[in-house]
Amino acid sequence: MANPSQHISYDYTIAKWFMFACIVFGIIGMGIGTLIAFQLAEPSLNDFAGEYSKFGRLRPLHTNGVVYGFMLSGIWATWYYVGQRVLKVSMRESKLLMFLGKAHFVIFMITILLAVVSLFAGVTTSKEYAELEWPFDIAVVVIWVLWGMGIFGLIGIRREKSLYISIWYYIATFLGVAMLYLFNNMEVPTRLVTGMGSWLHSVSMYAGSNDALIQWWWGHNAVAFVFTVAIIAEIYYFLPKESGQPIFSYKLSLFSFWSLMFIYLWAGGHHLIYSTVPDWMQTMGSIFSVVLILPSWGSAINILLTMKGEWHQLKESPLIKFMIFASTFYMFSTLEGSIQSVKSINALAHFTDWIPGHVHDGTLGWVGFMTMAALYHMTPRVFKKEIYSKKIMEMQFWIQTIGIVFYFSSMWIAGITQGMMWRAVDDNGTLLYSFMDTVDALKPYYWIKAIGGLLYLIGFFMFAYNIYKSITSNRSIEVEPKSASPMQA
Amino acid sequence: MFSWLEKNPFFFAVFVFVVIAYAGLVEILPAFAPNARPIENRKPYTALEIAGRQVYIKESCNACHSQLIRPFKAETDRYGEYSKSGEYAYDRPFLWGSKRTGPDLMRVGNYRTTDWHENHMKLPTSVVPNSIMPSYPHLFNKDADLQTAYAEALTVKKVFNVPYDEEGQTKLGSYEEALKMMVEQATPIVDAMNDASVKAAFEPCKKDPSASNCEIKEIVALIAYLNSLK
């Protein structure tokens, strides 16, 4: 075989399953998110289904639905596509790998559906992004191990000797989340110790300030290794493929990868500034979060410069637009994060709406756009169909962009207003505003935010429709496109 | 420099792991012992307070209310003395929260009463006009899960040596004794409440805490917990 890579037929079965899961959970997670955004503006929306429609119950459902349902499915869809292609080996070549992949998907589905039910019922550990109780935690570990076996199994039988950049990032996602998840979810099931009470209940291994420390070590780095590292894996593969341009600099990708690994884990401390954990940790959290700008911008600039001399593609292809917008938002939200980690700014921003504002800059702009772009790129290659409508894509892009602008501008203003009002005092040093005054002041911004979220959700429905029509329409393609995805209308 | 690693997936993975894991070792381990030491006079939660804390967690109150007073004048003026690490020594999990859609509750027991909480949970706007908090009528119908609360207290006593039943500390005892104490602690709360159905459900408890028709509603446990936050 002179060049085996030309004769490999890749197996996308599992990639397809995860693509569907990604879209379904995107709709569910973002739908609940939009609902709870409106609940803040109009509290009577809490009442339509008794205890199951209260903000407190729905909020963890929104975060888990989006983070684990939508984003992880997206990451896995891309893994089961990208992994085979850059390692030059088909899943079909190994019965074991196919089995692991299928088990991965099936157990993931069962777990996440049980998780939805348990969160509706109020079964939660209360730790953000780690709300699931211990039996589901164990299932998550099983899922993760299955994925890890899949990764290293595929690497084990690869034909391409060198690991492409994306593979570095997928490996890092796997290892980082594995370590953090295990430590943060250490808990003791009370029924097993005492033989009494609920089977689902557990107590954390850590107490008070220690618990907070571990939680934010995890909490921030779930952001790091799910929302960032894995998404960088995607863009390093999909942007060069779609644009037909090689990555701008190999050295820069090396530098930004290793420095990101080295610095990211320290950043969790910035959630604890002015809390009761030791001062030096708060300072470390703050400093490393500011330094984090270097590797973040390193990757983002590397990605943007990949388009050097090819910027006209931005005008011609909405798909390139999605990807470039995503990395621009990556730069923007990492800069924002560094700013918020400066102690004096954190004092103002912490506990305010600027924080969810920041999270959504990253998730809507960076993660959401990149995930949708990846799925758009995969559709013609996985289903052998043209993308149904360029026009819908174009419209979707602008509707969602306007949604994001509504979202972050309102949350910035709301957050800074809130922070300033909380600390405002008169000449005698007496507080100027009651807490309720600040709530009243924020109501208009809650409306704007909710409308922004609704626009993004509408855009997501357009995305789902476009993918659906692409798959079901007759516009088949015979030969896989080399770069730009075909879309005519 | 690192390019040899890209051909050795095993070493690559090990290297990544070391590079990401060391931050945890340096940053997290040193603080463990001192952070966990309880401040003087701090006592473990009673079983009823734990039941209330479980309700608080179940409804994700911590999604909107913090329990962490930062050392700024504006915060200490508004909420009371700033938080110290040792005050959280019995908090499993911690409930600092990450966003204040509502005010901080770290010391809410100092300035709110049972009566206020009852009205607030039933209809928030009745005590705070314009409040955007949802109402929680189902807390008045559902029974607090006293068994699970007791199981939690017993677990932390056994596994983490939380000093229940020690000299001058919170008493836990056997489940029957604990039930009796829960009813004792609930009695003044129920007496101070207005809701007739909560009172009626609690009535049999006064005669026999172990009776099968003795019902302590979730709202009662929650208020016991909120009143203990000082």
3-state secondary structure of A476: strand
- The rounded distance, in Å, linking the Cα atoms of A191 and A137 is 16
Least Cα separation, residue A387 to chain B (angstroms): 35
Interface confidence, given as ipTM, is 0.94
Q: Which residue of B has its CA nearest to A423?
A: B74
Mean pLDDT of A471-478: 90
Question: To probe the interface with B, which of A174, A265, A289 has the most B CB atoms within 10 Å?
Answer: A265
B132 CA: distance to closest CA in chain A (Å): 5
- Segment B188-208 mean pLDDT: 95
Each residue's pLDDT tens digit, A20-68: 999 999 999 999 999 999 999 999 999 999 999 999 999 999 999 999 9
Residue A1 banded pLDDT, cuts 50, 70, 90: very low
Q: What is the pLDDT of residues B66-119, one digit of tens each?
A: 999 999 999 999 999 999 999 999 999 999 999 999 999 999 999 999 999 999
pLDDT in tens, B151-180: 999 999 999 999 999 999 999 999 999 999
Question: How close B135 gets to chain A, by Cα (Å)?
Answer: 8
Asked if A108 and A142 count as a contact pair (C-beta separation under 8 A), the reply is no
Nearest to A212 among B89, B96, B132 (CB): B96
From A437, which residue of chain B is nearest by alpha-carbon distance?
B130
Q: Tell me which residue in B19, B28, B61 faces A258 most closely, judged by beta carbons.
A: B19
Lowest mean pLDDT among A86-90, A204-208, B2-6, B81-85: B2-6
Q: What burial letters (b/e) apply to A216-225, b meaning 16+ CB within 10 Å?
A: bbbbbbbbbb
Residue among B23, B34, B90 minimizing CB distance to A266: B23
pLDDT digits (tens, 9 = 90+) for A360-409: 999 999 999 999 999 999 999 999 999 999 999 999 999 999 999 999 99
SS3 string of A170-225? HHHHHHHHHHHHHHHCCEEEHHHHHCCCCCCCEEECCCHHHHHHHHHHHHHHHHHH
Q: Is A463 left (phi over 0), alpha (psi -120 to 50) or beta?
A: alpha
Q: Which band of pLDDT confidence, cut at 50, 70 and 90, is reported for residue A6?
A: low
Coil, strand or helix: which one is B60?
A: coil
Quick one: which of A199, A201, A235, A204 has its CA closest to A218?
A204
A353 pLDDT higher than 90: yes
Tell me the percentage of chain A whose pLDDT exceeds 70: 98
pLDDT for res B1 = 56
- What does the alpha-carbon distance between residue A225 and residue A112 come to, in Å, rounded to a whole number? 19
**DSSP at B66:** -
Q: Could you tell me which residue, A138 or B10, shows the higher pLDDT?
A: A138
Partner-chain residue, chosen from A125, A207, A217, that has the shortest CB–CB distance to B91:
A207
Pairing relationship of beta strands A187-189 and A202-204 according to DSSP bridges: antiparallel
Which of B57, B85, B155 is opposite residue A209, by nearest beta carbon?
B85
Q: Indicate whether A2 pLDDT > 70.
A: no
- Indicate the average pLDDT of chain B: 93
Average pLDDT, chain A: 94
Of B123, B170, B149, B119, the residue nearest B221 (C-alpha):
B149
Mutate to test the interface with A, among B14, B15, B16 (most CBs of A within 10 A): B16
B93 contacts in chain A (CB < 8 Å): 125-127, 203-204, 206, 211, 215
Tell me if chain B has a CB within 8 Å of the CB of A212: yes
The answer to whether the pTM exceeds 0.80 is yes
